[in-house]
Structure 1
Amino acid sequence: MHAIEAMEMMHKMPTVSVLMTVFNGERYLAEALESLRNQTFRDFEVVIVDDGSTDRSREIIRYYIERDKRFRVIYAQRVGRAAALNLGLRQCRGCFVAVNDADDISVNNRLAVQVEFLRRNPNVVLVGGWAEVIDENGRILGRRCPPEGGWRIKSLLSLGNPIVHSTVMYRRDVLSLIGGFDETLSCAIDYDAIERCMRYGPVSCLPVIVARHRRHMGQYFRGNISARTRFRTAAKTAVRIAWNHAIWMLPLSIMVYVGAFAPLSSPFMRIAQLIHTRMVHGRHA
């Protein structure tokens, strides 16, 4: 970026704030940050919260901050996923807040197409999109393709969360209305935030790939949380969505909820898991 352009960017509020949290993300962090530098839409800032990394993450972050004045960092000490998101959110200045996890990649026109959509649809509180699912080495495993909106997205959200968080762009004023991310949760933090945003308007998803979502063993917000705990937390949110936004899905949503709390050997658990993974997430949840 030219020096004059950088100075101008520093003295005006950006349209988009990209929010990223990091904990020991050295392996994929540079690729994630580089994907933001390569955006065709230029009027944005990147707010990075390093949550006590002990690897080379801070060194990588400093490298980008020194070369691009749109990048800023906040240092925290193991406050957890939701608290780290809220620390960053308080520093976001854009009217839109796009999430980009430290191991995910935004395609180069992601910000452009999502800003255009939200400007054309002022009633929509957040927009997601499709995501390619990739492995540790960048090999494509599949796709997450949530429906565009209306009753279809409400129906799926009443069973689980089909939206990859790194595809989501929120309206910042709506995030403020809901009080940010729930720091009492250890998982399904994005799902809960989406549900609370839905109380203020519709959600939509663009039928195009806007991100590449990486699946790997080192995802810090999953590391110490069992699959069953994640399932139960998600099931609670699913019932709230069915009750408030998709009452026609309530019987099926309750079935998933009951199954989530049933013994592992119970047929209810197996049926609930089948509904949750096949209907909502597909093969690569």
Structure 2
Amino acid sequence: MKQCCVLIPYFNDDDSLLTSIHSIDRISNGPDVIVVDDGSTNSKAIDIIPRYNGSLNIHLIELEKNQGIEHALNKGLEFCSKHYKYVARLDCGDTCKNSRIQKQINFLEQHPSYCLVGSWADFTDMTGNNMYTLRQPETHNQIKKAMFINAAFTHPSVMFRSSIIGSVGLYPTSYPAAEDYAYFFKIIKKHKTYNIQESLVNCTINPNGISSKKRKIQIKSRIRIILNNFDCSPIAFYGLFRSIFLLYTPRGFTVALKKILQKN
């Protein structure tokens, strides 16, 4: 079994795939890249990947038709679990930095009782202007509490042991646009987790991305996830009411608020 791979779902994303792959190549030597093309109708990954001229080994999985990111991720996980000890996540257009892959491998190697590690993330707009840094909670106990308020991991920043798939399964498919949030809840109930207190990825706020185009669907899924994990704690009540409030709040307002809070 090889040590590590980076799992990237792809759908009509053109050159953003190469941007992500090149960022991995610049900071690390060795991780394979697993690209799952979720039934692209144009700009297929099979036409994009040959333009990469680096040293990383890229494995392409193609779905016959578009099924949604959760299905693409699960098809990738089925492959990764058979061949790799660690699985890192990255989305098209997002980039790794600061020796991200090696730092997360080192953490999991040095802390065998931990099964998932994330990090902070820098968010930029489509032109590369810095918007804010998302500083995720550090310890497992802090993460468990914060999960009721928001996903305590930035999805493209996480790396986890493929062995956890045996105990938590694959990404849930019944929570549209919030498969990561539901998956993280499953993981923290059975395994110890941690966030490195350093920004190891750059994420792009894309107006055509899932968090923008499917925002209301995503928040409704998040409300269902909170209810399904509800423990009657004060923070669970707060998180539920917060999500209901966000359902009726424009995303532009919340992004602007994060920028203001970041400056303060």
TM over 0.5: yes
Q: Which residue of 1 aligns with 2:71?
A: 83
* Inter-partner Cα distance in structure 2 for 1:112 and 1:224: 33
Contact 2:3-2:31 within 8 A present in 1 as well: yes
> What is the letter of the counterpart of residue 251 of structure 1?
P
Give the gaps of 5 or more residues in structure 2: 260-264
Q: Which residue of 1 aligns with 2:235?
A: 252
Matched, 1:180 2:170: yes
Contact 2:138-2:195 within 8 A present in 1 as well: yes
Shift of 1:283: 1.2
The percentage of aligned residue pairs carrying the same residue is: 22
Contact 1:48-1:72 within 8 A present in 2 as well: yes
Give the gaps of 5 or more residues in structure 1: 1-12, 262-268
SS class of match (2:84):
coil
Candidates 94, 102, 122, aligned match of 1:132: 122
Shift of 1:259: 6.2
RMSD: 2.7
* Inter-partner Cα distance in structure 2 for 1:124 and 1:273: 36
Matched, 1:120 2:110: yes
Matched, 1:190 2:173: no
Shift of 1:43: 3.2
Alignment of 1:18-167 (within 5 A): 18-40=6-28, 42-58=29-45, 59-64=47-52, 68=55, 70-76=57-63, 77-92=65-80, 93-167=83-157
* Inter-partner Cα distance in structure 2 for 1:165 and 1:115: 17
Q: Tell me the alpha carbon deviations over residues 202-260 of structure 1, each in whole angstroms, 9 at most, x when there is no partner.
A: 210000111001101122x44652x33322221333345552xxx6xx23323443565
* Inter-partner Cα distance in structure 2 for 1:53 and 1:212: 24
* Inter-partner Cα distance in structure 1 for 2:31 and 2:140: 29
* Inter-partner Cα distance in structure 2 for 1:236 and 1:128: 24
Contact 2:171-2:183 within 8 A present in 1 as well: yes
* Inter-partner Cα distance in structure 1 for 2:145 and 2:57: 38
Q: Tell me the alpha carbon deviations over residues 264-284 of structure 1, each in whole angstroms, 9 at most, x when there is no partner.
A: xxxxx379979xx98xxx716
* Inter-partner Cα distance in structure 2 for 1:256 and 1:183: 22
SS class of match (1:126):
strand
Matched, 1:283 2:258: yes
TM-score normalised per structure 1: 0.79
Contact 1:125-1:200 within 8 A present in 2 as well: no
Contact 1:44-1:94 within 8 A present in 2 as well: no
* Inter-partner Cα distance in structure 2 for 1:223 and 1:61: 27
Shift of 1:38: 1.6
The 1:127/1:241 distance shift into structure 2, 3 A limit, reads farther
> What is the letter of the counterpart of residue 194 of structure 1?
F
Q: Which residue of 2 aligns with 1:212?
A: 202
Bigger mean CA deviation after superposition, 55-64 or 178-187:
55-64
> What is the letter of the counterpart of residue 189 of structure 2?
R
* Inter-partner Cα distance in structure 2 for 1:272 and 1:124: 37
- Larger radius of gyration, structure 1 or 2? 1
Alignment of 1:2-21 (within 5 A): 13-21=1-9
Q: Which residue of 1 aligns with 2:262?
A: none
The 1:150/1:75 distance shift into structure 2, 3 A limit, reads closer
Contact 1:14-1:43 within 8 A present in 2 as well: no
